[in-house]
Amino acid sequence: MAGLAAVIGGGIAYSASSAAPGEINDIICLFPVFITVFLITGAGNAINDYFDAGIDAVNRPDRPIPSGRLRKGYVYTFSILLFAGGILASYFIGAIPFFIALFNSFLLYLYAFSLKRKVFVGNLSVSYLTGSTFLFGGAVYGLIGIEAISVLFFLSMLATFAREIVKAIEDMEGDMLDGAVTLPIRIGERPSAYIASGVGILAVLLSPVPFITGSFNTSYLLVVGIADIIFLYAVLLILKNNPSASSKYFKLAMFIALVAFITGSFLR
């Protein structure tokens, strides 16, 4: 999904920059964009599992490391190799994408190592990292490309931030045993649910903006409307104290929103 989001961001940026003299206008370069994001996202997931082995032993004992299917050392080495491969691929795309890939790789490692256990900072880091997949694709086409996908970057950050808080509520037991200080642990489960709900509703309210600004066509509104309904249902679930189901519906809504971005930008 992350690799696809980067390609979508690149495709939207390509449409905006192709009419501008002097800008890159070769859509073929989106293939290494996909590879870079695919590898670095995989590296981030793997290093997160490495550092979260203790938490997962409580919250998700069926995962590869706590279940004994993989050794921690193997997972660590594998993640470093993926980081290196992604950064190397980004080097051949351009200076700005290379910088973003390098910075995001560092942030992913730092997040897994310590940031995720800190109030607000961890949630904000993941929100940026998710939104930056669009940013990375847009950066291929320079400042015009970045400007073209800025709204998607912001909307993706909002939706991810809401889901991250929901996940933190879901993982409270394991996080407390691990010594983490997440938002629900600091301020309580109910206030955190209200914050997640507010951010989710804000994302829904702002979802028509890409259509209003002319970035997407009417088909975007139809598909994103479905995503919005699911977002609101996820909000209802977290308010009913069901974080596990809420997190799943947030994820489903984000996937459908990704489909909306595709239909809105490419099916003109």
| For the chain, domain boundaries | 1-148, 150-268
- Buried residues in 103-117 as b, exposed as e (16+ CB within 10 A): ebbebbbebbeebbb
Tokens 């709204």, residue located = 151
Per-residue pLDDT for the chain (268 aa), expressed as one digit of tens each?
888 889 888 888 877 665 444 444 455 667 899 999 999 999 999 999 998 887 778 777 888 888 889 888 899 999 999 999 999 999 988 899 999 999 999 999 999 998 877 777 888 898 999 889 989 988 888 888 888 888 889 998 999 999 989 988 888 877 777 677 778 888 888 999 999 999 999 999 999 998 888 778 888 899 999 999 999 999 999 999 898 899 999 999 999 998 888 887 765 5
pTM of the model: 0.80
Quick one: angle between helices 121-139 and 150-170, nearest 10?
A: 150
- CATH 1.10.3720.10 holds for 1-148: no
Contacts of 209 (CB under 8 A, 6+ apart): 151, 155
CB-neighbour burial class of residue 212 (10 A; exposed 0-12, middle 13-18, buried 19+)? exposed
| Torsion sign across C-alpha atoms 257, 145, 151, 134 | positive
CATH topology of domain 150-268: Four Helix Bundle (Hemerythrin (Met), subunit A) (1.20.120)
Which residue type does 94 have?
Answer: G
Q: How far is CA 32 from the centre of its chain?
A: 19
- 3/147 Cα distance (integer angstroms): 20
Q: Looking at the chain, how many residues does it have?
A: 268
